Structure 1
Amino acid sequence: MRNSFDWTPYRRSTVGFDRLFDFLESSGSADNYPPFDIEKIADDHFRITVAVAGFKGNEIDITAQQNMLSVSGRKAPAAEGEGRQLLYSGIATRAFERRFQLADFVRVDRADLADGLLVIDLVREVPDAMKPHKIVIGGGKPTLVVDGEQAAA
């Protein structure tokens, strides 16, 4: 089953997140639990919201390394004497792992859990050495270009 959502408009307006969109487009046949949203907050700020109803903070693990963000959850076994007699169990509490490919220079800023939603804020911080520099003809000192305006390097 192929994901029917067209990511083309987002590809044009976001730079550096091509791998993220490739991953989202290819994950159509993968397990869709738990569901998640990805939103753009500002030019270099993004948010991933994962629906983790029934999980506590100590049952969720968030790991960021290189260009990969991994979110996993495992319910703690019921303690002795806490046995419940469920007549119907509709709340999914199975173990899960979600992986997100991150673009270069994207780091996890913070994570919060409230009302069954895990919110992970991401920030893209390009180092000054990687930003474009304007080279002046005639041997002048290079200047850093910041949002279309020149600043001293």
Structure 2
Amino acid sequence: MTRSIVFDSPFLLGFEHTRSLIERAAKAAAESYPPYNVEDRGDGGLRITLAVAGFTPDQLSVTVEDRQLTVQGKRDGDPAKRDDAFLHRGIAARGFIRSFVLADGMVVEGATLGHGLLHIDLARPEPEKRVTTVPIRTVG
């Protein structure tokens, strides 16, 4: 991936993390399998729905690391052996990794699998309101 000239400016110091997030988001956008929807549930909540027909809960994993949500599907067995029984295979049978970059404060509430769809619910809880009193010192 080519580096963004904007973030290489000497006037933008300390934005390496932002550049990294943009690069991760661009890489995730280039993925095309499995198809997915993102729904707004209101109150800052989102639902990601992935079409994962044929996968069981044991073949799927949902993880969050460093604000990156990763959904992975692994197929068991040798796919070549299963192909012998099909006259036509139109439903994809390959494994996948699909990633989403989460905003600060987003948390995964849970994941459910039903009717070939994996639903992942996200929320953005209200941040705690903190008031900090700064002591005032006197000098000399």
TM-score (norm 2): 0.67
**Aligned-pair distance for 1:83?**
8.7
Q: Which has the higher strand share?
A: 1
The one-letter amino acid paired with 2:104 is: D
**Cα RMSD after superposing both structures:** 2.7
Alignment size in residue pairs: 108
The sequence identity of aligned pairs, in percent, is 37
Unaligned runs of 5+ in 2: 1-20, 132-140
Greater per-residue helix proportion = 2
The secondary structure found in structure 2 opposite 1:128 is: coil
CA drift at 1:42 = 0.8
- Give, in whole Å, the separation in 1 of the partners of 2:28 and 2:83: 37
Alpha-carbon displacement from aligned partner over 1:84-139 (angstroms, at most 9, x marks no partner): 62111111010100000001111100100001000000010243146xx7xxxxxx
Q: Which residue of 2 aligns with 1:145?
A: none
Deviation at 1:65, TM superposition (A): 2.0
Query: Partner residue of 1:48?
Result: 48
Contact 2:59 / 2:73 at 8 angstroms: preserved in 1? yes
Taking a change above 3 Å as real, the CA distance of residues 47 and 29 of structure 1, as seen in their structure-2 partners, is: closer
Aligned to 2:101: 101
Distance 1:77 1:65, change over 3 A: same
CA distance in 2, matches of 1:29, 1:128: 32
- RCO higher in structure (CA 8 A, sep ≥6): 2
Write the letter of the residue equivalent to 2:60: I
Q: CA deviation at 1:43?
A: 2.1
